[in-house]
Structure 1
Amino acid sequence: MTLKFTKTPLFALALAALPFAAPVATGVGVGIGLTLAPAPVQAQAFSALRQAIAEASSENESLAAFYRERDFQPVWTSAEAADRRNALISALQEAGNHGLPTSRYDIDGLIETFRNATNPYARGQADVMASRLFLQYASDVHSGFLEPGDIISDFYQELPRPDARELLADLLDSNPHAFMASLPPQDPGYTRLMRTKLHLERLAQTGGYGPRVQAGALRPGDSGGAVIALRDRLMAMGYLDRSVTATYDARMQQAVVEFQLDNGINADGVAGGETIRAVNRSVEDHWNEVVLAMERHRWLNEGGEVPDRLIFVNLTDFHVRVIDNGETTFITRSVVGARDRQTPEFSDVMEHMVINPSWYVPRSIAMRSYIPNILAGGSTYMQLIANGRVVNRNAVDMSRYSVSSFPFDLRQPPGPRNALGTVKFMFPNRHAIYLHDTPEQYLMEREVRTFSSGCIRLDDPHEFAYHLLARQTDDPVGLFQRILRTGQETQVNLDVEIPVHLVYWTAWVDDDGTLNFRDDVYGRNARLSQAVRANGVVMPERAS
């Protein structure tokens, strides 16, 4: 698919060639000359212009400070600002391509305000209006139009909101069209999502994916109307070349396998209930997911700066990836928090790993899972800690305590039964979340892996450690294994700290253009999608 913007012809926006700092307008439009007033009138007009800008910007502290620093000179309505005005209008006209709430930007109102700016006061009002709309658009397209922390209780990602004064100052120092183009995320994944969004809109206008599959399940060898519907939807989604078969043949089976892989479904080639539900999702369903995925990309927008290495944990995909210079160099399955103990979304920096870790049990987990058993005489492998020292449990009268009054902290020493396994990877944070090994490796075979108390358990923790250590030692395996064999808790610092992103992405487009979906395991999409629609972001054409 090729991304193709269809630009609405620009209105005649450029204010005529005004004398610098002496704007007395007689008309608005490209090539319309304005009459130069005598010098005293020029000075009076500019004073009125500055006063209008000061008044109009006074309610926004950042905007007022910006204009004050430049002596209330106009940004958008001066003679030399025609290209800047056109760049702003062009960007606002394309806001819908980014899945943004276009009603926020009042393009028609801005154009009309520019046209009516025929006196100094109106020019000042128009200038500030343009600045406000620019700042709204720039913030939205750069770092998102939602405030996800107000919608999702487990969202702690700090949005990269640009500073208003810096935005305006950078605009003035840049080619305006290039600057507008630099505001959205610059990573290829965002561009691929935008292309997919536009493709889905075109597909909706031509009938979508076709009739839904009316069957509970289909398998190889089946035939009939439901198989034809499955065939047609797979073709519309790009999984099957043009075909007239009415039988669930080998080609359809392979197409189903590919569809299942891209939707996080067990890839057995049988269109069972989960596969049928996924294949029956509408173009509009997919469009909504893609728009939300673009918004999520904006929440991580680093302004074109891509770290040479980062660790990417997609909670819905149950995988952890190491990404070097934009390419995935390591991937392992993972277990994430249970639905009632959800893993939060946030970013931090990995500083070190601990080999042969002990586990200081969080109080909430201790009260729920361990203290009742200790009071009953069990969990003897757990150490009781008071004032940083181990307490002899034989000297403690457990009958004196309840779960809520239990006075000791709990520590699980290194060993084969340790809940953290043999290694943990630390990016210290207020949520007490980290990556670690687990003795419950059998859970990695489950399709939906929501079993932890919030931390991320790894399927291949040793290989993950080797991969991270390979940048700072010629023998990462030997180093790790030597420490492991000591049985002693040992911290190994990373020479270069690594950014870690814990995200909740239910849709993305691979390098080869494949659109992937994952289930909304925590129900976060439902709430965010409601907020997206409440802001007026809906698919232009509905289709099945």
Structure 2
Amino acid sequence: MRNSVISFVIIFFSISLANANLINNKKGSTKLTATPSSYRESTEENSTILINSTIISEFFKKYPDLKNYKSEVTALYKKRNYKSIWYDHKGVIAFADLLYSKANQLKEDGIKSNLAYKDKIDGIFNKQNTPDLSPTDTELLLSSLYIFYAKKVYQGIDTTKIRAIGWFLVQKNLPYENLLDSLLIDPQLLNKNEKQLFGQYYKLRTALKKYRQIEKNGDWNSITAEILTKEYQPGDSSKTIAQIRHRLAVTGDLKQDSKSNLYDKTLMSGVLNYKKRNSMKADYAITSMLIQRMNTPIEKYIKAIIVNMERCRWIAPEMTKADEYIFINIPSFKLIYKRNGKKELESEVFVGETMNETAIISSHVTQIVFSPYWNVPSSIIETELIPAISREKNYLEDHNMEWNNGKIRQKPGEKNALGLVKFIFPNDSGIYLHDTPSKSLFESEYRAYSHGCINMNKAKELALLLLKDDPDWPIERINNAMNGEKETVCTLKKKIPIHIGYFTTWVNDSGEISFYNDVYERDNRLAELLFLNESK
């Protein structure tokens, strides 16, 4: 008898605990409180709901505005032998509530979009009303909701449109059926899934929340400069200084706002930090250009964050998981080389001018060429060199150039346009990464004036790092090869991934956000595509 009583108490306690967990899951659905095992068990239960290809076809005839999801929905059920996904013996599984909650919070992911027949789906989760839906319709509406959510958050706009706007970085393969498996096993992945989304995405999402809160607080007041003052320097005093101090406190460049009108040491630190994180000349001058930059409407910054979150959706997360790789961001004019997750080198670069935009691509560095020839492109010969030769008889000789098989090339040397080293990576645009003799150009904030290739400030340092573990290329041999006397080609034993991207907004590992000039004016074009697809 005593054992029976104990057993009854244990069973009663277990049932009570299970009911409490279920209630918790229904409340505040952004909290993923259920254990992964409970989701697995739910999906493994046999279901009496009948699903087959004919029923799926009939469903999409009944709900034609969802027809774009038909192939992906069919793939979900084909993999599961047409068994129910969203029902177990108790009814609709708890994970469906979590998915529904996340789909209703797409604004947090910078997405403005509603699923067709949303009123029907709302009815599934409105416990006060009995939904006028058959279990089969409910099942397939939930599968359509999942595909809608996955496409919006994990994939972004259509791949053909991505390539049409000139984006050729490595793109991910997204099998929706496998993604659903992982989400059912671990629902926490709905909050953060770096196996499916480039890590920068989540940093930008946090920044988006911050900037929306600033906008909501009405804390982005316009800064007014005194008409006669061209710039402010440390020691100056002005109401404008106090306004700038407040703005830097809002953006996080200052820890607090003292409300002082004096340009003191604290404000100097804030101004310098603001300029550094936004790729501006690192000095203390508060110019009219700086004030103009600070007066950018916050709505524009929010749009920039959303646009760059979309770009993150296109990237295969494993792109930055390689042991070593080179990443170049065009708008920031920066190159970063990472090895084993650690940044080994950062270099200033300049890129193609607006008439010769640098391509957005992924490739592999296969060769390093020391003391290279510069084989002048035909377009430059025709538009620049031929006219110059006609004006100056000794133009080629004066510029260390020569004819070679009907073409013109510049011989190796310190004045060579490619500098003393270039890095070859196969690509259809015919561009490469190289040194430059024009080091003074790196002092400029705006650095988009090449013919499309990428010129870097620390080319030798990069060559040394890439050959660091190659015993055939000690530093003495590299120095000799870079003496400018003859071209020497080094074929790398290991190909190094290189990615040239375009991000006008970036969040570093410390959580600081940077906003860069949209040098090729691509943000507005992408925003138009995004907003065009809002309701789809």
RMSD of the alignment, in Å? Answer: 3.5
Q: What is the CA distance between 1:465 and its match in structure 2?
A: 0.5
| SS of aligned partner of 1:331 | strand
Match of 1:488 among 486, 489, 494: 486
Q: 59, 78, 81: which one pairs with 1:56?
A: 59
Q: Distance in 2 between matches of 1:9 and 1:178?
A: 12
The structural deviation recorded for 1:158 is 4.6
Show the counterpart of 2:357.
342
1:351–1:427 contact (8 Å) kept in structure 2? yes
Q: Which runs of 5+ in 2 are unaligned?
A: 1-27, 33-38, 62-66
Given residue 443 of structure 2, which amino acid in structure 1 is its aligned partner?
E
CA distance 1:118–1:245, change in 2 (3 Å): closer
Cα displacement (A) at 1:431: 0.8
1:143 and 1:301 map into 2 onto residues whose CA distance is 10
Instruction: State which of 46, 50, 53 in structure 2 corresponds to 1:20.
Output: 46
Match of 1:296 among 311, 331, 345: 311
User: Which runs of structure 2 are paired with 1:245-394 in the superposition (5 Å)?
Assistant: 245-302=260-317, 306-374=321-389, 378-380=395-397, 381-385=400-404, 390=405
Once the two structures are superposed, residues 299-318 of structure 1 have per-residue CA deviations (whole angstroms, 9 ceiling, x without a partner) of: 22326971221111111111
Would you say how many aligned residue pairs link Structure 1 and Structure 2? 482
Choose which of 506, 509, 512 in structure 2 pairs with 1:508: 506
Residues 151 and 528 in structure 1, CA contact (< 8 A), matched pair in contact too = no
Which moved further from structure 2: 488-497 or 107-116? Answer: 107-116
Q: 1:66 to 1:234 in 2, by over 3 A?
A: closer
Contact 1:219 1:271 survives alignment (8 Å): yes
What amino acid maps onto 2:261 in structure 1?
A
Would the alpha carbon gap of residues 360 and 122 (structure 1) be closer, same or farther in structure 2, given more than 3 Å must change? farther
The match for 1:3 is none
Gaps of 5+ in 1: 1-5, 24-45, 391-407, 538-544
The alignment status of 1:130 with 2:137, answered yes or no, reads: no
Report the secondary structure of 2:482's partner residue.
helix
CA distance in 1, matches of 2:235, 2:160: 47
Partner Cα distance (2:438, 2:117) in 1: 56
Q: Report the AA paired with residue 437 of structure 2.
A: P
Shifted more, 442-451 versus 208-217: the winner is 208-217
Q: Residue in 1 aligned with 2:111?
A: 100
User: 1:185, 1:302 within 8 Å by CA — same for their partners in 2?
Assistant: yes
Q: Which amino acid aligns with 2:172?
A: P
- For residue 86 of structure 2, what is the amino acid of its counterpart? W
User: 2:204–2:507: 8 Å Cα contact kept in structure 1?
Assistant: yes
8 Å contact from structure 2 (residues 170, 316) kept in 1 = no
| 1:140 counterpart = 2:152 | yes
Corresponding residue of 1:39: none
Once residues 43 and 444 of structure 2 are traced to their aligned partners in structure 1, the CA distance between those partners, rounded to angstroms, is: 69
Report the CA distance shift for 1:372/1:154 in structure 2 as closer, same or farther (over 3 A): farther
Q: CA deviation at 1:234?
A: 2.0
The structure 1 residue matched to 2:240, chosen from 204, 221, 226, is 226
Shift of 1:237: 1.8
Deviations 1:125-172 (A, max 9, x none): 333333233223223322434769559744333532413454456556
Mapping of residues 442-453 of structure 1, within 5 Å? 442-453=440-451
Q: Which moved more, 1:491-500 or 1:184-193?
A: 184-193
Q: CA distance change for structure 1 residues 507 and 185 in 2, over 3 Å: closer, same or farther?
A: farther
SS for the counterpart of 1:454 is: coil
Q: Which residue identity is paired with 2:283?
A: D
Q: For the structure 1 residues 295 and 354, does the alpha-carbon distance in structure 2 shift closer, same or farther, using more than 3 Å as the test? A: same
Match of 2:101 in 1: 90
1:379 is paired with a residue whose SS is helix
* Cross-structure match for 2:77: 67
Cα distance in 2 for partners of 1:264, 1:421 equals 24
Deviation per CA, 1:316-341: give whole Å up to 9, x if none. Answer: 11121102233321011111111211
> CA 1:21–1:143 in 2, change beyond 3 Å: closer, same or farther?
closer
Counterparts of 1:131 and 1:113, CA distance in 2: 13
In 1, Cα distance between equivalents of 2:320 and 2:422: 29
State how far apart, in whole Å, the 1-side matches of 2:320 and 2:118 are: 31
Alignment match of 1:239 (pick from 247, 253, 275): 253
SS in 2 for 1:142: helix
C-alpha contact 2:364 2:497 (8 A) present in aligned 1: yes
